[in-house]
Amino acid sequence: MDIALLTLNDFDTLINTVFTFRISDEILLDAELIEVTKLNNYSPLERNPFSIVFRTEQKNEYYQQGIFTILHPEKGDLQLFLSPLGFDDIGMKYEAVFS
C-alpha cells in the first residue's frame, strides 16, 4: 500500500489491534496500535496530517528511530519511519507521523 494515500481513517478503526514490526529478517516484534491523533494542518496538501502510536512490550531496550516494515493482515506491509517516544508502565512506545 502506498503510504502517501493513507489517512487517519485507515488507522482509527485499528486501535487496540496488533501489528508486527520487522526489525530485521531475524527479529519480529509485536506492537499494539494505541493512539491515532489528528494534527494541525499547515500544509496545502489534501491529506490532513496525523500520527499513530504503537506500544511494544519492551521494558529495558528500544530501537533507534528509522524506517521499519510494519505488517498487518488488513493493511499489508508498510514502510514507516518510527521514532521512539519512551517507556510507559507496559512497554516502549513508537510514533509514526504522516504529514
Residue-wise pLDDT tens digits, 4-26: 889 999 999 999 999 999 999 99
Residue-wise pLDDT tens digits, 31-88: 999 999 999 877 666 778 999 999 999 999 999 999 999 999 988 899 999 999 999 9
**Amino acid 58: pLDDT:** 97
**Amino acid 45: pLDDT:** 66
41, 48 contact by CB (below 8 A): yes
φ, ψ of residue 24 in degrees (nearest 5): -155, 180
CA dist 87 and 99 (Å) reads 25
Amino acid at 1: M
**Amino acid 77: pLDDT:** 94
